[in-house]
Amino acid sequence: MSDGSKHLSMPYYAGVARPLQLDPGYEDVHLSQIQSRKGSDSSFMALPSGQNVGSSGGSNFSLVSLHDQYSLKDDAGPRTHAYRTSDVSSISSSAIPQGIVPSSSASFRTPSVAGPPDPSDALMTPPSEKANGEREYLSTPEEIYYMQVFVEEVGIWMDSLDKDKHFSRVIPYEALKSPMLLHAFLACGVKHLTLINPDYSEDKALFYYDTATTQLLRNLRNPDRNTVECAATAVVLNVYEIMSEKPNKRMSHIAGARALIRECGWNAKSTGIGAACFWLNIGMELLSCLAFNWQTAWDPDQWGLNLDFLDNMAVDEGNGPVPDAGIGPEPTIGGGTEELWVHRIFYITAKLANFRANIPKFKEPSPHDEQLRRQARSTEWQRLKGLCDAWSNHCPRSMRPLGYVRESSRNSVFPNIW
């Protein structure tokens, strides 16, 4: 990158080079912030199993400045994301959230204050923790409540484009075996509460976020790390940052998540947890690119998506839907191909985001060259608009609105849809 931001060198992605090449100073800065908060707030909670939040072990790995072979070079046009150390969010002291009241029912929708243990509990439930540190189940009302909020309020959004609902139905059970993934889930659960209920303080969310980040950094120093757990954790922490209200808080994990996804070999052809993490991260990156007029760091042509549909959708354009090669006949109502068509519109939208981010800042010195450039961009614009129209014409009927209405009172060129 030409703006002087620090990035990892290529050996990280050239194969399976481990441990990672590190960005000097980032982790020291990030962990020193956590240490200072711990020293200034007597209510800061201890990590499970005696782990120390501030123990960096001399590592300098940076999720902010992860760099890989797909990033744009200096001569590749407008700058993409520049994840500088200054983008890391500063975090205030950690404390127990306010407003927690005892539950009036057996549900864990609200955590209750812990009382003396009930002797019958030992007879009713197995031990909550195994000898290797894995959790058999969550055992405190507070953790159960935060995880319940994550599954029912945050995970359902993360799974909105995943027919198998991995983040709300599958990965929470994997989190019982991974403390860093569990803390990332809890951070998102508390973060959601802070956005809908003023009685909840962000301090507890930041505690879980700090803990998950520190554990992730520690795992990334391990040559034998579980890369799938690391990638899933980074994706969830990226969700936490997307939920933050300030743009500069969205930067810490998006590049790291993308890098770990590539290390796992996940792309548009992946299935299972790999597909869930890949498409969720693509969606969040695309959201940021649209919001801040950035170019995507991962070129959509390199996602691994089967692009034959671009040619097939152009066939017989204007005469209604046509079959697509490789996916069978036009889907009927309730067909199961909606997910595939979402992936396709993600690709088209990413191309549109890149087109907009590449708007020239200056005119060409020669009027002739300027005219040629305008014509080229006009041609590309027409092509992209054709893709949007073709997608709308060929996607399953269940993905098109059931109703349109224009309201003269609304100051918008777009109609309301149902």
Domain parsing of the chain, residue ranges: 11-302, 308-417
pLDDT tens-place string over residues 270-304: 999 999 999 999 999 998 899 889 999 999 999 99
pLDDT tens-place string over residues 36-55: 555 444 333 333 333 433 33
**CA triplet 253, 27, 176: central angle to 5 degrees?**
55
Which pair of tokens denotes residue 259?
A: 């890098």
pLDDT tens-place string over residues 340-385: 999 999 999 999 999 999 999 899 999 999 999 999 999 999 999 9
pLDDT band at 130 (very low <50, low <70, confident <90, very high): low
What residues contact 352, with CB distance under 8 A and at least 6 apart?
384, 388
What is the DSSP track for 387-417? Answer: HHHHHHHHS-GGGS-S-EE--TTS--SSPEE
Considering only CA atoms, which of 50, 59, 155, 41 is closest in space to residue 95? 41
pLDDT tens-place string over residues 132-189: 668 899 999 999 999 999 999 999 999 988 989 999 999 999 999 999 999 999 999 9
The model's pTM is: 0.68
Considering only CA atoms, which of 252, 261, 240 is closest in space to residue 83? 252
Which of 152-156, 194-198, 410-414 comes out lowest in average pLDDT? 410-414
Q: At what angle do helices 202-220 and 26-40 cross, to 10 degrees?
A: 140
Residue 416 backbone dihedrals phi, psi, to 5 degrees: -75, 140
Query: What radius of gyration do the chain's Cα atoms show?
Result: 24
What's the confidence (pLDDT) of residue 411? 80
Cα separation of the two ends of the chain: 44
pLDDT band at 125 (very low <50, low <70, confident <90, very high): low
What's the confidence (pLDDT) of residue 32? 53
d(CA 285, CA 367): 36
pLDDT band at 247 (very low <50, low <70, confident <90, very high): low
Helical H segments across 264-363, by residue range = 272-292, 308-314, 338-357
**Measured CA distances, 334 to 220, 330, 397 (Å):** 43, 12, 9
Specify whether the CB–CB gap between 303 and 86 falls below 8 A: no
Q: At what angle do helices 227-242 and 254-263 cross, to 10 degrees?
A: 150
More confident residue, 119 or 411: 411
Q: What is the mean pLDDT of residues 379-396?
A: 92
Residue 305 identity:
L
Specify whether the CB–CB gap between 390 and 317 falls below 8 A: yes
pLDDT at 115 over 60: no
Considering only CA atoms, which of 151, 163, 173, 177 is closest in space to residue 275? 163
Q: Which residues pair with 405 in a beta bridge?
A: 416
pLDDT at 327 over 50: no
Considering only CA atoms, which of 108, 105, 104, 98 is closest in space to residue 137? 108
d(CA 48, CA 37): 18
d(CA 132, CA 405): 59
pLDDT band at 15 (very low <50, low <70, confident <90, very high): very low
d(CA 298, CA 307): 16
What's the confidence (pLDDT) of residue 153? 96
